[in-house]
Structure formats: structure tokens, C-alpha cells
Structure 1
Amino acid sequence: MRNIQTFLEDPKLLSQLADDEFQSVLLEGVSRTFALTIPQLPEGLYAPIANAYLLCRIVDTIEDEVSLSPEQKKYFCSEFIDIVQSGVNSEPFAVELAPLLSDQTIPAEHALIHVLPRVIEITHSFEPDQIAALASCVKTMAEGMPIFQAQNLHHGLATMADMDRYCYYVAGCVGEMLAKLFCHYSPEIAQHKAQLLTLSVAFGQGLQMTNILKDIWDDAQRGVCWLPQDIFTEAGFDLKNLTPDTNDEHFRLGLARVISIARQHLHDALRYTQLLPAHEVGIRNFCLWALGMALLTLKKIKHNLNFTHSNQVKITRNSVKATIVTTKMIGRSNGLLSLLFDVTSRDLKTPDWHYVQPASKATPLF
């Protein structure tokens, strides 16, 4: 059994690995969830999607780096867009960025920046349509995320439409990229391309909203809030009053309503998955495992609206195993999947309340 930490602590040793092993080690270092789900994909999809996640993680690393000024973040994001599109200048980029990363950036992300040229080399080993899908996603993310990072996020986002846009930039565009890669992989899947592209945005948003809800109090500790004020205004709570010590029934009502919206998006994620051929077991597993874990996380939040730390609503390893086992048993049956979703998510709905975004406030995402 390989020692992941050994490779992450020695970029030269890491670079000696074959491409798939190289990307696998990096994935295990930066995301346990994707390190679990991406290997379920068929051979023709594993490499580009593993690479895509690493590219997105590089953008995240730049945006989250506390030592970088807004101007530096904008500069590095712009440069990285060009590098992903062209495949050139990755070495000087990594040399310039790596020394600027602080100790608050995890070791695996330090390693990722050091071996960035190898990641880009792998990117440009793919077919032109695949490269275009990856580059488009990185461009959308790297241009969109700084818009929100530059805002005062102490008191949340103004509207649910703003939350929609934020989720699109950080996750919805990833969903679009995955749909494009799936369609490139399979002409059978491509028959549903238009519908998949639409639903893929909702899929990404459902997953991102779940993460936002789970991390509310972790974010609050650093003075950041991604919740939509209009939903909480309707519930009778002002997010300006949100602190790690908040204990307010009106806040919990708003929280339950955002959970209900996230549940709607996850229902679209199920519809997305059901459009995939039943015989594409690996792709279905990739989608269903992410969907199942998000749904169980929402349930933990809904059943514990008084939680004060993300660890309190983190699903257990047994829940992850149950998701995997259940998927293997019924993952090919659209009917059973719909039944399971309805039963599991029933208590996530908010009685006598349903969110409809006002048409006058709807802003195109792309």
C-alpha cells in the first residue's frame, strides 16, 4: 500500500508516477470524496475528470490563499486561464505562485502547485473537445469567483439569485463540464445533451448549497456568510445579526427553507442521473454517490438545526458505506431510485412554503 503523505511531501517523487497514479495521489490529498467517486468512472473518463478536478482545485487554492491580495488573485487567475487554454508557461507560473502560499494552505495543495506543470501536461494530452470543456470550466470559475470574493460577505448575499450565480461559478459550471465530457464519451448519452446541460447546473448547485449549509459556522468564524438575505428576511431574521452564538428560531426557519431549495436541486440531480443509460454503472455511481452523500448531509442538518460546527452534521463512514451499497443494489432502476429519493428527502421539504424566484430578479447565469 502506497504512502500518500510521502509522495505529497516530495514533489519530485510524485512526478515520477505514471499519469493515473500521479492524479490519484493528488486527489487523495485534496479531496477524499472525489478520490472515492472519480475512480468509479470508466477508463475513458477517469483521466480527464480527475484532471479537471485538479485544475478546479488550483483555482480554489488561489482564491482561498490568505496571503494573496485581491489584485494578486485576479492576476494569477487570469494567467491560469491562459495556461489551461494554451498549455504553455506553466513552469514559471508555478515557480512564481508556490513561494507565496502560506501555512494555512494544506500541504497537498502546496504539492499540487509545485507539480502544476505536470497537471497541465496531462490536460493537453486529451482530445480537443475534452480540453475545450476543461478550459471553459476553468475560465468561468476563475473569472466568476473573484467577483464574489471582492464583496463584503459578512452579512450574506443579498438574494437567492445571487446565491444561484455564486453556486454556478463554483459548481454549476463544473456540472456543465462533466455533462460535456459524458456526451463526448458516449453518443448514447449525447442524445440528451441539451437536457443534461440544463440539469447539470442544478446538480452542481445542490451539492454546493449543501456544502454552504454544512459550513455555515466554520465560515462565520472567519466573518463570511454565503446565505441569501431575502430568504431570511421572509423568515424574520437579519443576517447582520448572525454570529457563532446565534440561537434564533427565525434563523432556523430560514435555514430550513434554504434546505428545501437545496433539496429541489438535488431532485434535479436525480433526474440528471436517470437520463444516463442504466448500463453505464460507473458514471451512475459517480453521480449517485455524490447525490446520496449530499442528501444524507442535508438530513443531518435539518434534524439538527441547532448545530454549531460542521463536524456535528458530517455524515459517518457507515452512511457513506450505506450509500455505496444501496447504489450498487438499485442504481440501475430509475423507479427504485425515485422511490428512495422521495422517502429519504420527504422531511427536507418546508410545509406550506415553496420558493419561486421572482422573474424580475432572475439574472442569466451564462
Structure 2
Amino acid sequence: MTDNIAPALAPGIIDREAALRYQTASLQRVSRTFALTIPRLPAGLQETVGNGYLLCRIADTIEDDPRLDWEAKARWQKVFLAVLRRETPAEEFASGFAREMAAEMPEGEHDLIANTPSVVSLTHSFNSVQQSALIRCVEIMGEGMAEFQRRASRDGLRDQADMDHYCYVVAGVVGEMLTTLFVEEEPRMLAGGADLPGLAVSFGQGLQMTNILKDLWTDWGRGVLWLPQDRLRAHGLAPGQLHPGMSHPGFTALLTEMIALAAQHLRNALTFTLQIPAEQTGMRDFCLWAIAMAVLTLRRIAENPSFCSADEVKISRDTVRNVVLLSRLLHRFDPLLDLTFRVAVKRLPQGQIC
């Protein structure tokens, strides 16, 4: 499973080109979406954002392991953070976690864990601002995911505020990291006076809520529900009543509410994107493609609220190609982007509130 391990280096020596080649190859294996969007960024951002994604993917791999209990996951999150802080050798984490990692985890993730030293060597080659942004993101994400894993069950999250916090630790904090990296690359983003970190956190929540809804029954199958209990109760539902393919007025109303809230966050995502100068088309595409795919996924869910699996609401590759084409036609024109978004969300429940 580890045929693609980067060559070992003597301590203190970084083969940066080899690390970059591995990063590019690994992105292709562990994320189709980011492998598509990251190459649209300026060269420097490709390196830092790609590396940030792989660091988050390592943290996600720890969280996703089906055989580890929450205590073991929390312990490995701390070890990985110690690696980033140069307190523990990366090789120690890679070999130790590999011994405990479930065999059924995806091959690309086994390979990524084995190559943690290469990934982290690149992290440590960035400037202090970039390193701080990446390490802060992994710290908040790792600690937050460990806490939510501790109490994950089919009972759901406590309330909407709890769901908001979950979305923050798994996605909103990534938005904060990207804001730091984007502003360093393009300081003119600050010229409009917008609350970029706040918009970025909302951006992340819109994407994560879309994923929660799309993967609702996949998560349910592994014994986890990320919907808030207070909103279930408000619609006359209890977690134990839920099941794939259910057709219930209260459940449809709950989905409608969650879709509308996600759409509001995606409206903020567009506002964030429009703070990027129009000539930075690659940076805009990076954001626009994510927004468009989320909106289209929400539309699929709204059209089929009694879906049974993520495959039923997943957008097609042809749709992705159309998103790419439309983005490249419109990415310089703010009024047209705003109009296109408004037209797209009109087909969502309560889309007019956006």
C-alpha cells in the first residue's frame, strides 16, 4: 500500500521538489475535488493550500478510522500536532499510527500516513505566517474532532449552536486558514473592509452542512447523526424515528430548513469570493467551483428528500464540467455571478431569503 513513499532524507535536509511531487500525486489519490480546484490557484498558493489540505486529510484519516475508539483518536491527534510543532519526529507518528490504522481504510490514506514525513517537511519549509495558519487549523480541527468523536451517536447534536460549532471545527477553521493564505497572496482582498474571517467561517459551514445532508444516511449507517436534536424536536421527530428513504412531513420540513440555512451560508461564500480582485481568476474559480457544486447538491437533495444514499443526490461529472465552463465565462463579472447565484438558489426551499 505504500509504493509511492517519498525517498528518505537525512535529518534537517529537505528535498522540496520531491515533497511537492508527492503532494501533487497524493492530492489526486485522496481528493478528486481539491485535485481539480487547487491547480487553479497561483503557484505559491498551490503549495500552501495543497499542503494544508493534506494535513487536514491526515487529521480526518485519524477521525475516520473505524476501528479506533475516541480515546485513541484523541491521542493520535495530539501526536500529529506535536509533529507539526517539531516536538515529535514525523517518522514516529507515521510508523506508530500505521500499525494501528484499520486495513480497510482507503489505500490513498495508508500511503498518505506513510508519507507524513514528506508532507510535514514541506509544511516546515513555509514562512512563519503560513506555518502558523496551517498548524492552528490542524490544532483546532484535531481537538474539535476528537471531542465530537467522543460523543458521536445516532442521538444527534445537542442543538443548532452545537451543529454550528461542529461545522466550525471541521470546515470553518479551514476557511480561516485559507483567508490568511489568500490575503498574504492578494492583500487587496482587505480593501473592501469585509469581515473576511467571518465570511470564510460561514463559507465553510455552508459546504459542511451540504456534506452533512448529502452523507446523512452514510453516517447513519455507521451509527452517527450530525443533525441537531432541537430542530428534530421542533418538527415532531425523535432520532430513533429516522431511517433511509423516510417520507415524513416533519422530516421534509427539517431538510427544507437545513437546506435554506446552508444556502444562506453559501450566499456569504459568494460575498467572500467577490472580495478577491477580478483578475485573480484562479483564486475565484477555486471558490466558485465549491459554491456551485454545493448549491447543485442542495438542489438534488431538495428534489428528492426521501433519498436513501449519497449516490442518489451526488452531482454528475457532466454537471461538474458545466460548472467549470460557466465559472470560466463569468469569473470576472461580479453582477453576473451574483445573478447566477440568485437564479440557482431560487430552486431551493426558501431560496429567496438569500
Q: TM > 0.5 between the two?
A: yes
Q: Does 1:10 align with 2:9?
A: no
Q: Does 1:56 align with 2:59?
A: no
State the alpha-carbon separation in 2 of the partners of residues 321 and 203 from structure 1. 22
Match of residue 199 from structure 1:
199
State the AA in 2 paired with 1:284. R
How big is the alpha-carbon RMSD for the aligned residues of Structure 1 and Structure 2?
1.9
State the alpha-carbon separation in 1 of the partners of residues 63 and 21 from structure 2. 27
Number of aligned residues: 347
Gaps of 5+ in 2: 9-14
State the alpha-carbon separation in 2 of the partners of residues 146 and 130 from structure 1. 24
CA pair 304-245 structure 1, distance change in 2 beyond 3 A? closer
State the alpha-carbon separation in 2 of the partners of residues 81 and 192 from structure 1. 35
- Which deviations, in whole Å up to 9, do the C-alpha atoms of 1:160-209 show, x marking residues without a partner? 11110000000000000000001111221244576111100000000000
Match of residue 31 from structure 2:
31
Answer whether contact 1:217 1:310 (CA < 8 A) is retained: yes
Match of residue 349 from structure 1:
349
Match of residue 223 from structure 1:
223
Match of residue 69 from structure 2:
69
CA pair 351-341 structure 1, distance change in 2 beyond 3 A? closer
3-state SS of 1:103 partner? coil
Answer whether contact 2:345 2:351 (CA < 8 A) is retained: no
3-state SS of 1:86 partner? coil
Question: In the TM superposition, what is the alpha-carbon distance from 1:281 to its structure 2 partner?
Answer: 0.6
Higher mean C-alpha deviation, range 150-159 or range 114-123: 150-159
- Which deviations, in whole Å up to 9, do the C-alpha atoms of 1:38-96 show, x marking residues without a partner? 11100110001000000000001111112222221111111111211227511111111
Q: Normalization by structure 2: what TM-score?
A: 0.93
Question: In the TM superposition, what is the alpha-carbon distance from 1:351 to its structure 2 partner?
Answer: 8.2
State the AA in 1 paired with 2:3. D
State the AA in 1 paired with 2:30. V
Question: In the TM superposition, what is the alpha-carbon distance from 1:341 to its structure 2 partner?
Answer: 0.5
Gaps of 5+ in 1: 1-7, 356-366
Higher mean C-alpha deviation, range 223-232 or range 200-209: 223-232
State the alpha-carbon separation in 2 of the partners of residues 86 and 333 from structure 1. 44
State the AA in 2 paired with 1:93. F
CA pair 61-152 structure 1, distance change in 2 beyond 3 A? closer
State the AA in 2 paired with 1:22. Y
Match of residue 282 from structure 2:
282
Q: Does 1:243 align with 2:243?
A: yes
Question: In the TM superposition, what is the alpha-carbon distance from 1:244 to its structure 2 partner?
Answer: 2.6
Match of residue 129 from structure 2:
129
- Which deviations, in whole Å up to 9, do the C-alpha atoms of 1:275-315 show, x marking residues without a partner? 11001111000000011111100011101111111000000
State the alpha-carbon separation in 2 of the partners of residues 100 and 122 from structure 1. 25
Match of residue 148 from structure 2:
148
State the alpha-carbon separation in 1 of the partners of residues 23 and 191 from structure 2. 30
Answer whether contact 1:182 1:190 (CA < 8 A) is retained: no
State the alpha-carbon separation in 2 of the partners of residues 69 and 307 from structure 1. 30
Answer whether contact 2:27 2:35 (CA < 8 A) is retained: yes
State the AA in 2 paired with 1:130. Q
- Which deviations, in whole Å up to 9, do the C-alpha atoms of 1:238-281 show, x marking residues without a partner? 22311235332211111111000000000000000011100111
Answer whether contact 2:260 2:351 (CA < 8 A) is retained: no
Answer whether contact 2:331 2:337 (CA < 8 A) is retained: yes
- Give the percent of matched residue pairs that are identical in Structure 1 and Structure 2: 43
Higher mean C-alpha deviation, range 223-232 or range 103-112: 223-232
- The aligned runs of 1:1-366 (5 Å cut-off) are 9-12=2-5, 18-86=18-86, 88-191=88-191, 195-244=195-244, 246-350=246-350
